[in-house]
């Protein structure tokens, strides 16, 4: 492959087609991960893309293949996910590049620190006539493990909303300030966190997480004057998710007002649920069936780069069983035999897309 690193830090390798004018199939996933992570979330999909190209042994198809290792999917450092794949679809603007990390360093500066030039972001954009996008990923949940099946075709990725919620009170002396004279930002946040969990438990399919909390000034003998909490809300139905976010925002305001605090709500990311492309889902289903494995279809509760690519080109995903459903944890794993089934399905998928006999005109229309 011809390999380059684009201005967003995505690593991309192109396997040329039989002709220069051919369309391009993108195969990708992400290279970054979460703190205290496992070894498979994201990077397995990139390795499988490389492996599929390797299995062609130099054979040219009627379309080119570009394997993408996206630089930033999880959103850990800047609180904003999918920076790598957003660059590829031209959705990185000046406001996004100016977003700071916890130390105040912006995305543009971090890109410069890495030796890349954020002003060249347009070069990351896909230009070739896209044929589609395919992503392999571990399931990260228990469904395939319970079914005893190696792989599943993804038909839909649920929507998600992220926000930073900051409660602001007054810092004060822990020994001298009476309990009824306090404006404790952290206890306000704690009450709201309990409310987030309670609300999510009441609504079928809703998941809501407060994954990070920072209290300031952060000393044992000082009443916290500031407390920032991250919120992550997901549901397959966008209206249900949006209504839940609205209720949680009202609850934060009510709790803050009752405790003499203020609350700042900073939306970080909102994405509707995304359907995978029906023709590619059908093609992937046939590709799995030809391996002899059961072609189960399921929706994804986790976010994936595919949800960013899907509005711009036909997209499809194949999940690989995750033993125990354990992910975002060092015990995350995948079974070699399952990866082999997924790779065989990937090879079948390439064959069908190539028209079986290597015709010049792949059958899929966007």
Least distance (Å) between residue 303 CB and ligand GLV: 4
Q: Residue 97 or 158: which CB sits closer to ligand GLV?
A: 158
Q: State the minimum distance, in angstroms, from the CB of residue 84 to Mn ion.
A: 12
- Which positions ≥6 away from 27 have C-beta within 8 Å? 48, 49, 52, 53, 65, 66, 67, 68, 133, 134, 135, 136, 346
Question: Of 169 and 303, which CB lies nearer to ligand GLV in the complex structure?
Answer: 303
- We find the least distance from the C-beta atom of residue 74 to ligand GLV, in angstroms, to be 5
Q: What DSSP state is assigned to residue 324?
A: G
> Cα–Cα distance between 32 and 43 in angstroms, integer?
8
Closer of 13 and 79 to ligand GLV (Cβ): 79
What three-state secondary structure class fits 277? Answer: coil
Q: Do the beta carbons of residue 201 and residue 140 sit within 8 Å? A: no
Shortest Å, Cβ 347 to ligand GLV: 27
Is 46 or 65 the residue whose CB approaches ligand GLV more closely?
Answer: 46
Question: Cα(185)–Cα(222) distance, rounded to whole angstroms?
Answer: 11
Rounded CA gap, 298 and 177, in Å? 54
**303 or 314: whose CB is closer to ligand GLV?**
303
- For residue 362, the partner it binds in Mn ion, ligand GLV, none, with Cβ less than 5 to 8 A by kind, is none
* β-sheet bridge partners, residue 274: 157
Span from 6-14, 36-44, 220-228, 239-247 in contact with Mn ion (CB under 5 A): 36-44
CA dist., res. 247 & res. 206, Å (int): 13
Provide CB contacts within 8 A for 198, sequence distance 6+: none
The reply on whether position 332 binds Mn ion by CB under 5 A is no
Shortest separation between residue 37's beta carbon and ligand GLV, angstroms: 10
Pairing of strands 226-235, 274-275: unpaired
Instruction: Please spell the DSSP secondary structure of 329-344, one letter per residue.
Output: STT----HHHHHHHHH
By C-beta, is 74 or 155 nearer to ligand GLV?
Answer: 74
Residue at token pair 């290597």: 358
Contact (CB, 8 A) for 52 and 68: no
Structure tokens at 362: 């792949």
Is 199 in a helix, a strand, or coil?
Answer: helix
Report the alpha-carbon distance of residue 142 to residue 55 in Å, rounded. 30
| Residue 66 interacting partner from ligand GLV, Mn ion, none (CB closer than 5 to 8 Å by kind) | none
Instruction: Record the tokens describing residue 102, joined without a space.
Output: 């916890």
Residues 6+ apart with CB under 8 A from 347: 52, 55
How near is the Cβ of 346 to Mn ion at its closest, in Å? 18
Nearer to ligand GLV, 74 or 338 (CB): 74
Kindly identify the residues of this chain, within the stretch 39-58, that bind Mn ion according to CB under 5 A.
Answer: 41-42
Residue 87's nearest CA partner among 139, 115, 126, 55 is: 126
41 or 184: CB nearest Mn ion: 41
9 binds, among Mn ion, ligand GLV, none (CB under 5 to 8 A by kind): none
Residue 130 interaction partner, one of ligand GLV, Mn ion, none, beta carbon < 5-8 Å per kind: none
Pick from Mn ion, ligand GLV, none: which does 184 bind, CB < 5 to 8 A by kind? none
Whole-number minimum distance, CB 49 to ligand GLV, in Å?
18
Positions touching ligand GLV (CB under 6 A) are 74, 302-303
- Report the partner that residue 303 touches, choosing among ligand GLV, Mn ion, none (CB closer than 5 to 8 A by kind): ligand GLV
Question: With respect to ligand GLV, which residue has the nearer C-beta, 171 or 206?
Answer: 206
CB of 308 to ligand GLV, least distance (A): 12
* Residue 305 binds which entry of ligand GLV, Mn ion, none, CB below 5-8 Å type-dependent: none
Establish if 72 lies at the interface with Mn ion (CB under 5 A): no
Report the interface residues with Mn ion, using CB under 5 A. 41-42
């Amino acid at each position: 492959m011809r390999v380059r690193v684009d201005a967003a830090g995505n690593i991309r390798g192109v396997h040329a087609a039989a002709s220069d004018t051919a369309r391009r199939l993108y195969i990708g996933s992400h290279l970054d991960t979460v703190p205290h992570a496992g070894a498979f979330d994201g990077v397995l999909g990139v390795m499988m893309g490389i492996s599929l190209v390797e299995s062609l042994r130099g054979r040219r198809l009627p379309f080119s293949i570009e394997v993408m290792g996206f630089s930033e999917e999880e959103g850990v450092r800047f609180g904003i996910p999918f920076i790598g794949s957003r660059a590829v679809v031209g959705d990185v603007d000046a406001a996004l590049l100016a977003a700071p990390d916890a130390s105040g360093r912006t995305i543009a500066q971090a890109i410069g620190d890495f030796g890349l030039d954020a002003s060249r972001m347009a070069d990351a954009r896909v230009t070739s006539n896209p044929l589609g996008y395919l992503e392999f990923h571990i399931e990260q949940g228990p469904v395939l493990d319970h079914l005893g099946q190696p792989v599943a075709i993804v038909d839909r990725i649920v929507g998600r909303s992220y926000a930073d919620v900051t409660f602001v009170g007054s810092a004060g002396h822990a020994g001298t300030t009476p309990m009824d004279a306090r404006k404790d930002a952290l206890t306000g946040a704690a009450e709201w966190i309990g409310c987030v969990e309670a609300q999510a438990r009441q609504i079928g399919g809703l998941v809501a997480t407060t994954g990070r909390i920072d209290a300031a000034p952060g000393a044992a003998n000082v009443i916290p004057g500031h407390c920032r909490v991250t919120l992550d809300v997901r549901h397959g139905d966008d209206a249900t998710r949006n209504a839940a976010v609205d209720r949680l925002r009202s609850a934060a305001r009510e709790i803050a007002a009752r405790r003499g605090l203020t609350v700042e709500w900073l939306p970080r990311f909102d994405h509707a649920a995304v359907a995978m492309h029906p023709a590619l889902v059908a093609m992937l289903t046939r590709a799995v069936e030809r391996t002899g494995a059961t072609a189960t279809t399921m929706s994804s509760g986790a976010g994936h780069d595919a949800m960013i690519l899907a509005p711009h080109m036909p997209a499809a995903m194949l999940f690989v069983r995750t033993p125990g459903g354990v992910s975002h944890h060092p015990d995350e794993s995948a079974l070699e035999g399952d990866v082999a089934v997924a790779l065989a399905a990937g090879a079948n998928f390439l064959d069908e897309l190539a028209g079986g006999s290597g015709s010049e005109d792949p059958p899929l229309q966007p």
